[in-house]
Protein backbone atom coordinates (compact mmCIF):
# COMPACT_ATOMS: atom_id res chain seq x y z
CA UNK A 1 0.00 0.00 0.00
CA UNK A 2 1.05 3.56 -0.51
CA UNK A 3 1.94 5.50 2.62
CA UNK A 4 -1.14 7.73 2.21
CA UNK A 5 -3.40 4.74 2.86
CA UNK A 6 -1.15 2.38 4.86
CA UNK A 7 -2.43 3.35 8.31
CA UNK A 8 -6.15 3.15 7.52
CA UNK A 9 -8.24 1.07 9.89
CA UNK A 10 -11.87 0.00 9.72
CA UNK A 11 -13.91 2.70 11.46
CA UNK A 12 -11.55 5.59 10.64
CA UNK A 13 -13.34 8.75 9.48
CA UNK A 14 -11.57 10.09 6.41
CA UNK A 15 -14.07 12.73 5.25
CA UNK A 16 -16.15 14.96 7.50
CA UNK A 17 -17.24 18.09 5.64
CA UNK A 18 -20.24 20.36 5.20
CA UNK A 19 -21.25 21.90 1.89
CA UNK A 20 -23.82 24.60 1.22
CA UNK A 21 -25.99 23.82 -1.82
CA UNK A 22 -27.54 26.94 -3.31
CA UNK A 23 -29.89 27.47 -6.22
CA UNK A 24 -27.04 28.64 -8.45
CA UNK A 25 -25.36 25.24 -7.92
CA UNK A 26 -28.51 23.55 -9.25
CA UNK A 27 -28.65 25.84 -12.28
CA UNK A 28 -24.99 25.16 -13.08
CA UNK A 29 -25.50 21.41 -12.66
CA UNK A 30 -28.62 21.47 -14.84
CA UNK A 31 -26.69 23.15 -17.63
CA UNK A 32 -23.73 20.79 -17.37
CA UNK A 33 -25.80 17.61 -17.07
CA UNK A 34 -28.64 18.48 -19.42
CA UNK A 35 -31.15 17.64 -16.65
CA UNK A 36 -33.42 20.65 -17.00
CA UNK A 37 -36.35 19.20 -15.06
CA UNK A 38 -38.11 22.26 -13.58
CA UNK A 39 -38.44 20.67 -10.12
CA UNK A 40 -34.78 21.65 -9.78
CA UNK A 41 -35.34 25.37 -10.42
CA UNK A 42 -39.06 26.29 -10.20
CA UNK A 43 -40.87 26.36 -6.86
CA UNK A 44 -44.19 26.57 -8.70
CA UNK A 45 -43.57 23.38 -10.69
CA UNK A 46 -42.04 21.55 -7.73
CA UNK A 47 -45.08 22.33 -5.58
CA UNK A 48 -47.45 21.33 -8.38
CA UNK A 49 -46.06 17.78 -8.21
CA UNK A 50 -46.29 17.57 -4.42
CA UNK A 51 -42.83 18.71 -3.35
CA UNK A 52 -42.29 21.40 -0.73
CA UNK A 53 -40.21 23.38 -3.23
CA UNK A 54 -37.15 23.04 -5.42
CA UNK A 55 -35.00 19.98 -4.77
CA UNK A 56 -31.41 19.19 -5.71
CA UNK A 57 -30.71 16.67 -8.45
CA UNK A 58 -30.05 13.28 -6.88
CA UNK A 59 -27.00 12.80 -9.07
CA UNK A 60 -25.69 16.22 -7.99
CA UNK A 61 -25.91 15.11 -4.35
CA UNK A 62 -24.23 11.78 -5.06
CA UNK A 63 -21.57 13.42 -7.23
CA UNK A 64 -20.78 15.93 -4.50
CA UNK A 65 -20.26 13.12 -1.98
CA UNK A 66 -17.96 11.24 -4.37
CA UNK A 67 -16.06 14.45 -5.12
CA UNK A 68 -15.34 14.90 -1.41
CA UNK A 69 -13.96 11.34 -1.32
CA UNK A 70 -11.85 11.89 -4.44
CA UNK A 71 -10.51 15.12 -2.92
CA UNK A 72 -9.45 13.09 0.14
CA UNK A 73 -7.93 10.35 -2.05
CA UNK A 74 -5.98 12.94 -4.04
CA UNK A 75 -6.96 11.73 -7.50
CA UNK A 76 -10.43 11.10 -8.97
CA UNK A 77 -8.95 8.26 -11.05
CA UNK A 78 -8.59 6.27 -7.81
CA UNK A 79 -12.37 5.92 -7.43
CA UNK A 80 -13.24 2.35 -8.41
CA UNK A 81 -16.98 2.35 -7.75
CA UNK A 82 -19.77 4.23 -6.05
CA UNK A 83 -23.28 3.18 -5.08
CA UNK A 84 -26.11 4.52 -2.98
CA UNK A 85 -29.86 4.81 -2.60
CA UNK A 86 -31.65 8.11 -2.62
CA UNK A 87 -33.60 8.21 0.64
CA UNK A 88 -34.89 11.78 0.88
CA UNK A 89 -34.91 14.86 -1.33
CA UNK A 90 -32.62 17.82 -0.64
CA UNK A 91 -34.88 20.87 -0.48
CA UNK A 92 -32.95 23.97 -1.54
CA UNK A 93 -34.62 27.21 -0.45
CA UNK A 94 -34.39 30.36 -2.56
CA UNK A 95 -32.19 32.30 -0.14
CA UNK A 96 -28.52 33.06 0.43
CA UNK A 97 -27.96 30.01 2.67
CA UNK A 98 -29.45 27.18 0.65
CA UNK A 99 -29.25 23.71 2.17
CA UNK A 100 -26.35 22.33 4.18
CA UNK A 101 -25.14 18.84 3.33
CA UNK A 102 -23.01 17.03 5.91
CA UNK A 103 -20.84 14.38 4.28
CA UNK A 104 -18.96 11.75 6.28
CA UNK A 105 -16.96 8.83 4.94
CA UNK A 106 -15.65 6.07 7.17
CA UNK A 107 -13.51 3.07 6.35
CA UNK A 108 -15.65 -0.06 6.01
CA UNK A 109 -13.05 -2.44 4.52
CA UNK A 110 -9.37 -2.40 3.65
CA UNK A 111 -7.70 -4.99 1.44
CA UNK A 112 -4.54 -5.17 -0.61
CA UNK A 113 -5.86 -3.12 -3.50
CA UNK A 114 -8.78 -1.05 -2.29
CA UNK A 115 -10.39 0.72 0.62
CA UNK A 116 -14.18 0.70 0.76
CA UNK A 117 -15.82 3.66 2.45
CA UNK A 118 -19.29 3.98 3.93
CA UNK A 119 -20.54 7.42 2.93
CA UNK A 120 -23.23 9.17 4.95
CA UNK A 121 -24.90 12.29 3.53
CA UNK A 122 -27.40 14.28 5.57
CA UNK A 123 -29.29 17.48 4.97
CA UNK A 124 -30.11 19.30 8.19
CA UNK A 125 -29.80 15.98 10.03
CA UNK A 126 -31.95 13.93 7.64
CA UNK A 127 -30.21 11.10 5.78
CA UNK A 128 -30.54 11.83 2.03
CA UNK A 129 -28.26 9.10 0.65
CA UNK A 130 -28.57 5.61 2.06
CA UNK A 131 -26.26 2.66 1.70
CA UNK A 132 -23.58 4.91 0.27
CA UNK A 133 -20.37 3.15 -0.63
CA UNK A 134 -17.30 4.33 -2.51
CA UNK A 135 -14.26 2.28 -3.44
CA UNK A 136 -10.80 3.82 -3.64
CA UNK A 137 -7.82 2.04 -5.22
CA UNK A 138 -4.81 1.96 -2.92
CA UNK A 139 -2.33 -0.28 -4.76
Tens-digit pLDDT profile for residues 18-42: 999 999 999 999 999 999 999 999 9
Task: Report how far residue 78's alpha carbon sits from residue 35's, in angstroms, rounded to the nearest whole number.
Answer: 27
Q: Are 61 and 128 in contact (CB under 8 A)?
A: yes
Task: Report how far residue 20's alpha carbon sits from residue 134's, in angstroms, rounded to the nearest whole number.
Answer: 22
What three-state secondary structure class fits 108?
Answer: strand
What three-state secondary structure class fits 68?
Answer: helix
What three-state secondary structure class fits 69?
Answer: helix
For residue 91, what is the DSSP state? B
Domains along the chain with CATH numbers: 13-137 (3.10.129.10)
pLDDT for 1 equals 43
Residue 100 reports pLDDT greater than 70: yes
Share of the chain above pLDDT 90, in %: 93
pLDDT band at 3 (very low <50, low <70, confident <90, very high): low
Amino acid sequence: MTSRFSSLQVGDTVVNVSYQVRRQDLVAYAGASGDLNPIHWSDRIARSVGLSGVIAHGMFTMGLAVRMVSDWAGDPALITFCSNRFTAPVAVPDDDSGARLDITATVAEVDAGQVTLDVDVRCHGVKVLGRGRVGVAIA
